């Protein structure tokens, strides 16, 4: 959840909830409506503000969402989220008590978790089981599925509602002989063992789901209809970014977060003068610099120094010099020299996402330039940056309104 700070420096992460709804309907519409669909809203809704994201998804009719931590689940429950919450993280005894109290659905990975829940539960607890089929992070060893089935089949306290796995290279989900094929084969064995309990089965993140959509499209061109038999847990795609290359990304996803600020002052530099720490950049011509109040302490990575661009009056301009803790500088000479500076006082600058005229600078571009991934760019935006929630009506609300008119 975003904390509410006064915003004297006018640096804001604008959260377009209508884009979230748009992405959700695109993704959901691409698969069988009855398939398990669990948006991932861990890590503060990928940095967007988990309560607001969850409440919007709830309005759109989402029945199950995924969080990493019990603490994340508690915050959602306290703020009116009553959808089913899958908790993927490991928990101790105190955590197990909260799970039972707040009616969370734990995703179990360890044998001890079964014992703990059985000791504490007064009535049956529904769980999902996670299987490690190759990621080697969380999950029961897939080869233990039969033993686990026998253990849980005789438990009166634990009801297996779902089974799942996580693909480590989901981008290759559609290729034969890929890493995902091996993982899905192993998971298929787990599914066969647990079939008598008729659990929900899920494995695909955004890359897996988008790969399936790509496969579906390729086959449709040949007149072949392919279906998905796995539930999905998208994160990144819901927030508007495809993890696949453009040629394999067939949905018009819209970024949900726009990081915007306002120029606080301008400098006029002579040729040869430098800017920011260590003068890693020097002016090659008379230059007008804009100082923008956002820095690495806000999660705007220092690795972007001298690499990134920002949107200034609808134009891409380069960041110059090292990113500071609270500020960055941009060379705005080409835009500003055509006019005087006066129309540019308090000029809006967009670090990523959409500017207020609708021009887009994708966060994925910053990820590439700072040698990281889009997930990290989004989740890095810190609590010093207030989230400004733009909450145009959800599709469901608008439809309700139309019907009642
Ligand atoms: C278990 C699990 N499922 C699904 C996701 C969603 O992944 P993505 O954001 O790539 O869609 C994650 C994210 O890390 C995850 O840990």
Please determine, for residue 339, whether its predicted confidence score (pLDDT) is greater than 80: no
Give the whole-angstrom CA distance, residue 197 versus residue 188. Answer: 15
68-116 residue pLDDT tens: 999 999 999 999 999 999 999 999 999 999 999 999 999 999 999 999 9
* Ligand 1, atom 14, residue with closest C-alpha: 235
pLDDT reported for residue 2:
54
Mean pLDDT for the stretch of residues 334-352: 91
Mean pLDDT for the stretch of residues 301-321: 98
pLDDT reported for residue 396:
55
116-143 residue pLDDT tens: 999 999 999 999 999 999 999 999 999 9
Give the whole-angstrom CA distance, residue 64 versus residue 169. Answer: 24
Choosing from 23, 165, 233 the residue with most ligand 1 atoms within 8 A of its CB, the one to mutate for a pocket test is 233
Mean pLDDT for the stretch of residues 199-220: 95
* Ligand 1, atom 8, residue with closest C-alpha: 235
Q: Is 235 in the pocket of ligand 1 (CB under 6 A)?
A: yes
Give the whole-angstrom CA distance, residue 136 versus residue 112. Answer: 18
Angle between helices 50-59 and 17-29 (to 10 degrees): 50
Choosing from 38, 41, 166, 240 the residue with most ligand 1 atoms within 8 A of its CB, the one to mutate for a pocket test is 166
Partnered with residue 165 across adjacent β-strands are 131
Q: Tell me which residue of 197, 42, 85, 193 sits closest to 131, measured CA to CA.
A: 193
Q: Is 37 in the pocket of ligand 1 (CB under 6 A)?
A: no
223-267 residue pLDDT tens: 999 999 999 999 999 999 999 999 999 999 999 999 999 999 999
d(CA 116, ligand 1 centre) in Å: 26
Please determine, for residue 400, whether its predicted confidence score (pLDDT) is greater than 90: no
Q: Is 166 in the pocket of ligand 1 (CB under 6 A)?
A: yes
As a residue count, the chain comes to 405
Give the whole-angstrom CA distance, residue 235 versus residue 237. Answer: 6
d(CA 239, ligand 1 centre) in Å: 12
Please determine, for residue 8, whether its predicted confidence score (pLDDT) is greater than 60: yes
Q: How far is CA 229 from CA 32, 36, 58, in A?
A: 9, 10, 24
Q: Is 233 in the pocket of ligand 1 (CB under 6 A)?
A: yes
What's the chain's average pLDDT? 94
Residues with a known catalytic role: 42, 277
d(CA 375, ligand 1 centre) in Å: 10
Q: Is 206 in the pocket of ligand 1 (CB under 6 A)?
A: yes
Split at pLDDT 50, 70, 90, the class of 365 is very high
Question: Domains (ranges, CATH) in the chain?
Answer: 17-248 (3.20.20.10), 257-361 (2.40.37.10)
136-164 residue pLDDT tens: 999 999 999 999 999 999 999 999 999 99
d(CA 234, ligand 1 centre) in Å: 6
pLDDT reported for residue 405:
43
Q: Is 88 in the pocket of ligand 1 (CB under 6 A)?
A: yes
16-38 residue pLDDT tens: 999 999 999 999 999 999 999 99
The answer to whether residues 393 and 401 touch, using CB atoms and an 8 Å cutoff, is: yes
Write out the two tokens for 187. Answer: 């998971």
Q: Residue 42 CA: which ligand 1 atom is closest?
A: 13
């Amino acid at each position: 959840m975003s904390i509410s700070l006064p915003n004297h420096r006018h640096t804001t992460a604008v959260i377009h909830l209508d884009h979230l709804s748009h992405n959700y309907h695109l993704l959901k519409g691409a698969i069988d409506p009855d398939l398990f669909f669990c948006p991932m809203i861990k890590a503060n809704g990928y940095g967007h503000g988990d309560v607001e994201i969850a409440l919007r998804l709830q309005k759109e009719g989402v029945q199950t969402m995924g969080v990493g931590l019990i603490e994340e689940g508690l915050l959602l429950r306290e703020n009116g989220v009553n959808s089913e919450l899958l908790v993927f993280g490991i928990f101790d005894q105190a955590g197990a008590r909260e799970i039972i109290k707040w009616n969370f659905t734990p995703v179990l990975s360890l044998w001890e978790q079964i014992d703990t829940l059985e000791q504490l539960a007064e009535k049956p607890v529904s769980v999902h089981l996670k299987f490690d089929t190759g990621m080697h992070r969380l999950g029961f060893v897939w080869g233990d599925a039969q033993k686990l089935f026998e253990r849980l089949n005789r438990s009166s306290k634990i009801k297996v509602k779902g089974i799942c796995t996580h693909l480590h290279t989901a981008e290759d989900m559609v290729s034969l002989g890929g890493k995902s094929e091996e993982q899905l084969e192993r998971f298929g064995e787990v599914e066969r063992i647990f079939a008598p309990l008729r659990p929900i089965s899920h494995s695909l993140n955004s890359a897996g789901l988008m790969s399936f959509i790509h496969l579906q499209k390729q086959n449709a061109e040949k007149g072949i209809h392919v279906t998905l038999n796995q539930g999905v847990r998208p994160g990144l795609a819901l927030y508007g970014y495809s993890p696949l290359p453009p040629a394999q990304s067939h949905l018009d996803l819209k970024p949900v977060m726009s990081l915007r600020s306002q120029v606080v002052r301008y400098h006029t530099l002579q040729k040869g003068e430098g800017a920011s720490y260590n003068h890693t950049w020097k002016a090659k011509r008379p230059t007008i610099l804009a100082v923008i109040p956002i820095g690495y302490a806000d999660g705007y990575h220092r690795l972007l120094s001298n690499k990134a661009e920002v949107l200034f009056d609808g134009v891409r301009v380069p960041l110059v010099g090292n990113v500071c803790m609270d500020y960055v500088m941009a060379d705005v000479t080409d835009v500003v020299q055509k006019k005087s500076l006066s129309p540019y006082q308090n000029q809006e600058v967009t670090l990523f996402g959409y500017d207020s005229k609708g021009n887009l600078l994708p966060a994925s571009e910053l990820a590439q330039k700072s040698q990281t991934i889009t997930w990290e760019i989004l989740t890095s935006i810190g609590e010093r940056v207030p989230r400004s929630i733009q909450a145009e009506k959800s599709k469901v609300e608008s439809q309700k309104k139309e019907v009642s008119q």
